[in-house]
Chains A and B, each alone.
Chain A
Amino acid sequence: MQTKQGTNYPHEALNAVATMAAIAPHQPASEPPMNTTAEAIAEKRRHLTADSLSQDQSTSTTVGEITSPNPCMVCRDVNVWYADNHAIKNVSLDIGRNEVISMIGPSGCGKSTFLRCLNRMNDTIPVARVTGSIKLEGEEIQDRGIDVVPLRARVGMVFQKPNPFPKSIYENIAYGPRIHGLTNNRAELDELVETSLQRAGLWNEVKDRLDAAGTGLSGGQQQRLCIARAISVSPEVILMDEPASALDPIATAVIEELIDELREQYTIAIVTHSMQQAARVSQRTAYFHLGDLVEVGTTDDIFNRPQHKLTEAYITGRFG
């Protein structure tokens, strides 16, 4: 593909984009629309800012199928403001039961904010204001009247940085069941701790040192401990906010495998910066840009046949 090298005029760059966007969707998947020379990529980066792209094609309406045949969570017209900053703009999206949906997009695009709406974690931020409708199994969770305690037990969350409590491994897992009164005696609690750790694939590594500090584990183990902690209260949905971005490639692979296994029992929404990761673990992908949900579709479609040229530009690595 030819771009105009050495030009300094934005409109010429735009023309180049338009040409590219017209060609790109029709290209076979085996040949990604990418110019491989470093100079060409650098040149494109210089001209193809996200702003120039979004002038060309609207981002206010979402491209692709936002609904799911078997929805677990249904979000309609969700808006989030942080004080005066409109962080999420009219996002509507279904999260299907037992699917992994990944949310991708450049930094600051609102994907984490959207994720935090799903278990009302934005309540902890005093200036945040959320409007619109979010339903979990048909039940509205946006009502101020609803208690967030049972909601968060049903919609668990795993954070970007592993955040084990400064307690023992056992106590880290037992914390959730204890505050929700899920077990009647110590034996049941022991069993729940064991099954949670087993599901998170951590049991064999820590079964001999459940009394050791959770903070003493390696980064990958800590993150699996946090996943086990989320599982321990039997949630229906698990939200993961860049769960592997602080981990090395091997620990990342373990977590990704785990996510794939967990899909059988849980609905998972994952925010990620790694497009390979989104491609590997998710069935559906949503692309966010500056607070807009630009495009949703099956992961296969998004990565191989993107409809919106912002999506296409992002997944081919031209900005982000």
Chain B
Amino acid sequence: MSSTLLFFIVLAAMALAYYIGRQRAIGVVGGVSQINRLHSLPSYYGYYAALLVGLPAMLLLLLWVGLQGQILTALTLAELPPEVTADLSEGQLSLLTSDIRNLASGNLMGRDPSPAVEAAAARFQQLQQIATLSLWALTGAVVLAGMAWAWQHTKPSFRARNRVESILMLVMILFSLIAILTTLGIVLSVLFESIRFFQMVPWTEFLFGTRWSPQIALRAEQVGASGAFGAIPLFTGTLLISFIAMLLAVPVGLLSAVYLAEYAPRKVRAWAKPVLEILAGIPTVVYGFFAALTVAPFFRDLGQSVGLDVASESALAAGLVMGIMIVPFVSSLSEDVINAVPQSLRDGSYALGATQSETIRRIIFPAALPGIVGGVLLAVSRAIGETMIVVMAAGLAANLTANPLASVTTVTVQIVTLLTGDQEFDSAKTLAAFALGLTLFVVTLVLNVIALHIVRKYREQYD
């Protein structure tokens, strides 16, 4: 709470610093009429002062808030009598710590605290007060120092604009680093968990095994839970459903893109495009119950009426609904690349007496093909990673089959089932989810890289 208040105080200080810095710059040259003598516009001197006041203070605040809890806890624990902490396991220690913290912040505990804990809590509170006071003092000092520095450096020859711009560039680099580092962190955490998994299950079995049955016996005498981690049925299931989805999405998306880009009158385009985009805006969970409650029973009943055995959670139903979900994706990407084909090529073809369909088939389509392929590959990686529809509409049985009427399961469905509910993070069953995630990540990454490469190559073509 107090740090939030401090944050707003620093913001106010920045605003004030801007005003002072600007006035100072004008004052240094002796009035508004003389501002030509300044290297930069007066407002840049204001920005410079504001940044100098704000940035260090914000950084300090951020570091302090991030580290305060840990440091204070460590200090408190160090002061506890050694016999209290002597033979505690890691888990018990963290329990003790949270007891102390709860007590310090005034929360009620279920049981009466021991005197040692009470003393520690009091000490913790005391430390917290000291920390807060020193934070306020330090922040105030930093703010004043920044202001003083800016005041001192405001001279006509001072290149405030260049300074401000390079500081802003640094800030932008920092923010893009945050995005990159987050990605890296996610990949690494998945990678490390996967390595733990591969220590328990050999990677050859995981990648080439044909039986998936991740149940592991908790007790020795349990039956039917041997644990098999062959991921092939999952990947074939994923590929089967994605293939069915693409079988629907590519023709429908592509032809609607050609119609919208080349044939549709302006009025039709004006309402057809938004409708397609609405299709893209439907949450996948809605598609999911559409698939599970409407499409799958429909195919099952249809199958029964013609004497076919269709599973009630067939790959066909999940794939078709996923295909519908991807249609707007394919169509809008394809429409973009078709529109990117220069009008001059169309004119050239028409001027030779080609019809519209000849022009589309023989000029526009070949010219746009690389871009269309790129778009389709992006759609494929979307289909492979799609979770919600298959969780609801595809089954859980890891069948190794190419029959679209049978029930199959996918990588994403298995990850969801492995990680929902209470988990223990040292069993192969749970860790398998990370290995699956990593493999899925690699597959979609490769697809995306290929797709982006193709799209980029295509872009250069008309230049």
Contacts and interface: CB of A to CB of B under 8 A. Distances in A.
Interface stretch (B211-219, B222-230, B343-351): B343-351
A290 B462 CA distance: 34
Contacts of A138: none
A163 B342 contact: yes
A265 to B, nearest CB: 18
Interface string B259-271: 0000001100000
Interface residues of A, number: 28
A309 interface: no
B355 interface: yes
Interface stretch (B39-47, B85-93, B362-370): B362-370
Given A166-B461, A167-B366, A175 B352 contact: yes
A126 B265 contact: yes
A226 interface: yes
A148 interface: yes
A22 interface: no
Contacts of A148: 353
Q: How large is the interface on B (under 10, 10 to 19, 20 to 34, 35 or more residues)?
A: 20 to 34
Which of A164, A175, A180 gathers the greatest number of chain B CB atoms within 10 Å? A175
Interface string A101-138: 00000000000000000010100101000000000000
Contact of B362 (A153, A163, A175): A175
Interface in A155-209: 156-157, 159, 161, 163-167, 175-176, 179-180
B348 A165 contact: yes
B352 A153 contact: yes
Nearest to B351: A157
A159 B353 contact: no
A269 B300 CA distance: 68
Given A161-B344, A163-B344, A124 B350 contact: yes
A152 B355 contact: no
Contact of A180 (B266, B348, B351, B353): B353
Contacts of B345: 163, 165-166
A126 B353 contact: no
A284 interface: no
A152 B344 contact: no
A230 B352 contact: yes
Interface in B262-291: 265-266
Contacts of A233: 352-353
B354 to A, nearest CB: 5
Interface of A: 119, 121, 124, 126, 148-153, 156-157, 159, 161, 163-167, 175-176, 179-180, 215, 226, 229-230, 233
Given A159-B351, A176-B352, 6 more contacts: A124-B346, A124-B347, A149-B355, A165-B349, A229-B352, A230-B351
6 contacts: A159-B344, A163-B344, A165-B363, A176-B353, A179-B352, A230-B351
Interface of B: 265-266, 342, 344-355, 358, 362-363, 366-367, 461-462
